[in-house]
Amino acid sequence: MALTPEQVLNKHFQTTQFRRGYEERDVDDFLDEVVAEMRSLIEQRDDYLKQLNDCRASKNQTAVRGGDASGVMPAVRPGDEAKLAGLTAKIQDAERAFRVASERATKAKAEADNAERLARERVQRAEQAAQSSVDAATLNDAQARLTALPGVGLWTAAEVGRTALGDADAVSVGDYHLPDQVAWALAGEPRGDDDRMLALLAPSPGHRGRVIRLIESAAITAPRRGPRMPANDIRSL
């Protein structure tokens, strides 16, 4: 089937179901059709050009190259004028269709490459999200196992998770100094409790442990009040 410029311009591809872009098989089939039609147009153009040059040679006129078919023609005999005009028009139509097909093929290839790139990026993001879910589940399971041990509470589990397991979201709830330290660093409040500390850390989900580590590394401490607490004798515990 002959491929016209209008068919190239109005071609619509089937959209994919699970990603943006065109169906790759439809694009490939259409490109094969465009290539075949382009080859046919080139052959027709060359044949028309040969016929035109043969006619001009019989009149001792210079040959016309592919891009010069639309140039000014010398005077010809009345009997040959219609034939020359028809050949020239066919060459121009063939070259015009060739340019349109080339532009359409280039655009289709660019759209297919872009759709493939977007799909590859979505796959990478999905893999990263899946890995994060696995890591979070592993840390939650480790914390549950730790708190199931006698004498191990949330504070100990959080310290182990942050220090030994690399849990970036671990918060040592129940710490004596940490709530004051976080409240002073993030809100300028000299005193705080566990609930206030968690509220201030809420804008950093998944990174609360990192925020605490940065505060500790900066040596930010809340203002002191009163004397130090006496040291308790824990040998009898």
Please provide the DSSP assignment of 95-164 as one string.
Answer: HHHHHHHHHHHHHHHHHHHHHHHHHHHHHHHHHHHHHHHHHHHHHHHHHHHHHTSTT--HHHHHHHHHHT
Q: What is the rounded distance in angstroms from the CA atom of residue 162 to the CA atom of residue 141?
A: 14
Q: Could you give the CA distance from residue 181 to residue 134 in angstroms, rounded to a whole number?
A: 32
Q: Is residue 112 part of a domain?
A: yes
Q: Lowest-confidence range among 70-74, 130-134, 219-223, 226-230?
A: 70-74
Question: 12-26, 107-121, 170-184: which has the highest mean pLDDT?
Answer: 170-184
pLDDT of residue 195: 93
pLDDT in tens, 73-130: 444 455 556 766 777 777 778 788 888 888 888 888 888 888 888 878 877 776 666 5
* 78 and 130 assigned to the same domain: yes
Residue 74 is predicted with a pLDDT of 47
Give residue 205's identity as a one-letter amino acid code.
P
Average of per-residue pLDDT across 148-170: 81
Residue 125, token pair as written in the block:
């993001």
Q: Are residues 168 and 111 in the same domain?
A: no
227 is written with which tokens? 């004397």
pLDDT, residue 41, reads 78
Same domain as 155, residue 74: no
Are residues 95 and 157 located together in one domain of the fold?
no
**How many CA atoms does the CB half-sphere of 231 hold within 13 Å?**
2
- The pTM score is 0.39
Average pLDDT for 56-75: 60
pLDDT band at 218 (very low <50, low <70, confident <90, very high): confident
- The rounded distance, in Å, linking the Cα atoms of 23 and 112 is 8
Residue 181 belongs to what domain range?
A: 150-217
| Of residues 164 and 179, more confidently modeled | 179
**pLDDT class of 69 with cuts at 50, 70, 90:** very low
Q: Which one is predicted more confidently, 36 or 63?
A: 36
Let me know whether 100 and 167 are in one domain. Answer: no
Give the Cα separation of 34 and 22 in Å (integer). 17
Query: Are residues 59 and 159 located together in one domain of the fold?
Result: no
Does 227 fall in a domain?
Answer: no
Structural domains in the chain (count): 2
Q: Which of 100, 119, 141 is the last residue of a domain?
A: 141
Same domain, 185 and 136: no
- pLDDT of 227 reads 66
Query: Are residue 136 and residue 155 in the same domain, yes or no?
Result: no
